Amino acid sequence: MTIIKVFAPAKVNLTLHVTGQRKDGYHLLDSLVMFADVGDRITVMPTEASRLEVTGPRAAGVPTGNTNLVARAAALFDIPVHIILSKHLPASAGIGGGSSDAAATLLALSDLTGDTRLPSGATELGADVRVCLMRQAARMRGIGEDVIPCPGLPPLYAVLANPGVEVPTPAVFNALQNKVNPPMPKRLPQGLNTHAFIGWLSDQRNDLQAPAIAAAPVISDVLNALSSLPDVQLARMSGSGATCFALFETEKAAQDAARLLAGQQPDWWVAPTCLS
């Protein structure tokens, strides 16, 4: 039996500038994205009748029906498959877990069928699916349809932390008072070392951070905890929350900080990672 396994990395929005809103209500974004070396896992194998099985340490509460983006991605292919989704990322956490899972499913089924063309409707599964298919540092603009690779950025050592609360994305966007904000600079940096790149990121924003904190004040606690870690260079929220990240100059500093934070907050999801 052919078995295909694909990693579904966490997506981290290092910046998220809300630059406008279309007449249909969709918000326009300008965001720099990198991917973590922590994530979910997708296993796909042929079967007589399609089914989705969810396992892993974060499987509780994850739907197995058609509301799951993995099931919807698989339905775009005309082949019955048994899919095992091993969940390691918290749900509704601002790190693109569902979109990354869907993208990994598309890649797995493309490999299984030998068809390198994405099926119709693949990138309409979610705004982040297109960038998650790219799986590398990228700039996202518009409503997620304009994705440009960003080679030449240094890897970043980070600690991800989530306090275990789900923050509804529509509510966060609706609470954003100013929906027309400056984008990132036209040209993103090239050839910077880690210290200089983090310094550049410090001058950028996540425009959703304040309304997300208003919806879930515990996010402020997470940011304060991350900002208090030894050797931290920058702490910010990813996406629409509630996952936040702290950046460090070395892998050891990030790993030591993650152990410290996990000891301080045993009920939080805490993960050291390398972003690239």
Q: Which three-class secondary structure state does DSSP give residue 184?
A: coil
Annotated catalytic residue, options 5, 11, 115, 186: 11
Q: Which of 40, 101, 128, 207 is catalytic?
A: 128
List b or e across 46-79, with b for residues whose CB sees 16 or more CB atoms inside 10 angstroms.
eeeeeebebeeebeeebeeeeebbbbbbbebbee
Which residue in this structure is represented by tokens 């499913």? 105
Does the annotation mark 40 as catalytic?
A: no
**Identity (one letter) of the amino acid at 260?**
L
Q: Compute the distance between CA of residue 52 and CA of residue 39 in angstroms, rounded to an integer.
A: 18
Where does the chain show beta strands of DSSP type E? 4-13, 17-21, 27-46, 51-55, 81-86, 138-142, 146-149, 156-162, 234-237, 244-248, 269-275
Please name which of 266, 275, 264 lies closest in space to residue 236, comparing C-alpha atoms. Answer: 275
For 59, the token pair is: 């499987």
The answer to whether 267 is a known catalytic residue is no
Map tokens 């940096």 to a residue.
189
Q: Is the alpha carbon torsion for 29, 135, 64, 72 positive or negative? A: positive
Active-site residue list: 11, 128
